[in-house]
Amino acid sequence: MVASPATLPAADTDAAATNAALRNAEVVALDRANVFHSWSAQKALKPMAIAGGSGSKVWDHDGNTFLDFSSQLVNTNIGHQHPKVIAAIARQATRLATVAPAAANHVRSTAAAKILSHAPSTMEKVFFTNGGADANENAIRMARLHTGRDKVLSRYRSYHGNTGSAIAATGDWRRIPNEYSRGHIHVFGPYLYRSEFWAETPEQETERALHHLRRVIQAEGPQSVAALLLETVPGTAGILVPTPGYLEGVRALCDEYGIIMILDEVMAGFGRTGDWFAFDAYNVTPDLITFAKGVNSGYIPVGGVIISGEIAATFDERVFPGGLTYSGHPIAAASIVASIEAFEEEDIVGNAARIGRDHLEPGLNALAEKHSVIGEVRGRGVFWALELVNDRTSRTPVSANYMGRLKAELLRLNLLPFIADNRLHVVPPAVVTAKEVAQALAIYDQALSAVGS
């Protein structure tokens, strides 16, 4: 029976959702009749129906299976439906499905301890939020209260989330219609391929980006700058791996001017770059770290702020004016504990590093040798971007039409891609196998050939 789009199917249970009787068309019709989607004009939307998944694969209701090289929104670091995490969620749901944030709850404390065990030794506490945006929101608040200063510096090429200060800190187009929060200043960071600083070498890019940052801090008045909020490796903005020495230079500027360094590890953290935290590859220790996504692969919405001992101590005697009903939700906490245990037991971070080094890097570079539309290959671990250009000299981005055709071709070949502007982001789960990478590389090759230059 085909359900009327405006009403629920007769038996809308989990089992029914993957029931072979349900077809993509009716799932999409029910969505279009009832669901309002993010960041979109609603009328033309044609969402893809996804019924189930396992590891690096998802499937729809019509019998099609796809390699998920998007990790959804770059969050399923542990893959889809990891049995250990699913079992922990089920166990906690039967034990205690919710508890107020003011209570001491063992699974919550264990989740915080597990996260801290992989963070720098200067980090002492975890404040849990519902996701990444409110993690940044609360980190900014902590930095402002700790320093008694107001302004927050972040980068133009960044995304920090869809709430008051987090969206105002964001660099991309999504900030502009939402700019109601005050005190946000933006700077350009290193991006040698499209350098804002006329740089020709990574060293020049680092030196000039740091000079620009110093001058903006000085011009804004260092005594009024509370925090510098940076994605360690800007993700949605293009997987912009920092040029050597940049993050260390930012740390030195923060120390010189008494500014709090907040590293947003929401997308880059928990294995994505082949390290526990993306900043582990650099000689920096932030004051606050924000996380979400990969910490539990998004099985239950959760995020948080990892807080240095020094900043945590600010709130020993003084009230922290912030909180959330679901802060440290026990089912989310159980999923974090099980995820981190699985990461440790299965060496998932090591797998991401090896897959990046031995398979994605050489494989994507080989694709670039064959397809002149690939202007640059950059990334680490399971966090890569292909910058697609009309010609390699002018570096003009390919059109939205080109990207649309590429996306359609990849889906036709059963690969779920992550597309942002003129870029193809290659972001499989950190559990991806060498065989799956080889399959995906063959599909990218075929799709790029089909779409042409």
Scored b (16 or more CB within 10 A) or e, 333-351 reads bbbbbbbbebbeeeebbeb
The 8-class DSSP code of residue 102 comes to T
Per CB under 6 A, contacts with ligand PLP among 117-156 are: 131-133, 136
Nearer to ligand PLP, 28 or 169 (CB): 169
Stretch that binds ligand PLP, among 106-114, 259-267, 308-316, 432-440 (CB under 6 A): 259-267
In one-letter notation, the amino acid at residue 393 is T
Q: Is 295 in the site for ligand PLP (CB under 6 A)?
A: no
CA distance 118 to 252: 23
Cβ contact 74:447 at 8 Å:
no
Least separation in angstroms between CB 39 and ligand PLP? 11
Q: Is 413 in the site for ligand PLP (CB under 6 A)?
A: no
Burial bucket for residue 98 (CB in 10 Å: 0-12, 13-18, 19+): exposed
Q: Is 235 in the site for ligand PLP (CB under 6 A)?
A: yes
Size of the site for ligand PLP (CB under 6 A): 16
Q: Is 231 in the site for ligand PLP (CB under 6 A)?
A: yes
Q: Is 73 in the site for ligand PLP (CB under 6 A)?
A: yes
Nearer to ligand PLP, 180 or 198 (CB): 180
Per CB under 6 A, contacts with ligand PLP among 21-60 are: none
Q: Is 264 in the site for ligand PLP (CB under 6 A)?
A: yes
Furthest CA-CA distance within the chain: 68
Q: Is 161 in the site for ligand PLP (CB under 6 A)?
A: yes
Burial bucket for residue 200 (CB in 10 Å: 0-12, 13-18, 19+): exposed
Stretch that binds ligand PLP, among 230-238, 249-257, 276-284, 396-404 (CB under 6 A): 230-238
Token pair belonging to 311: 């900043």
Q: Is 291 in the site for ligand PLP (CB under 6 A)?
A: no
Nearer to ligand PLP, 80 or 157 (CB): 157
Q: Is 279 in the site for ligand PLP (CB under 6 A)?
A: no
Q: Is 88 in the site for ligand PLP (CB under 6 A)?
A: no
Place of tokens 């071709």: 409
CA distance 26 to 9: 9
Least separation in angstroms between CB 240 and ligand PLP? 12
Q: Is 296 in the site for ligand PLP (CB under 6 A)?
A: no
Length of the chain: 453
Q: Of all residues in this chain, which one has the CB nearest to ligand PLP in the complex? A: 132
Token pair belonging to 362: 């050489």
Bridge partners for 261 per DSSP? 228
Q: Is 159 in the site for ligand PLP (CB under 6 A)?
A: yes
CA distances from 138 to 53, 129, 306 (A): 33, 8, 11
Place of tokens 């930012």: 250
| Contact footprint for ligand PLP (CB under 6 A) | 73, 131-133, 136, 159-161, 231, 235-236, 264, 266-267, 292, 303
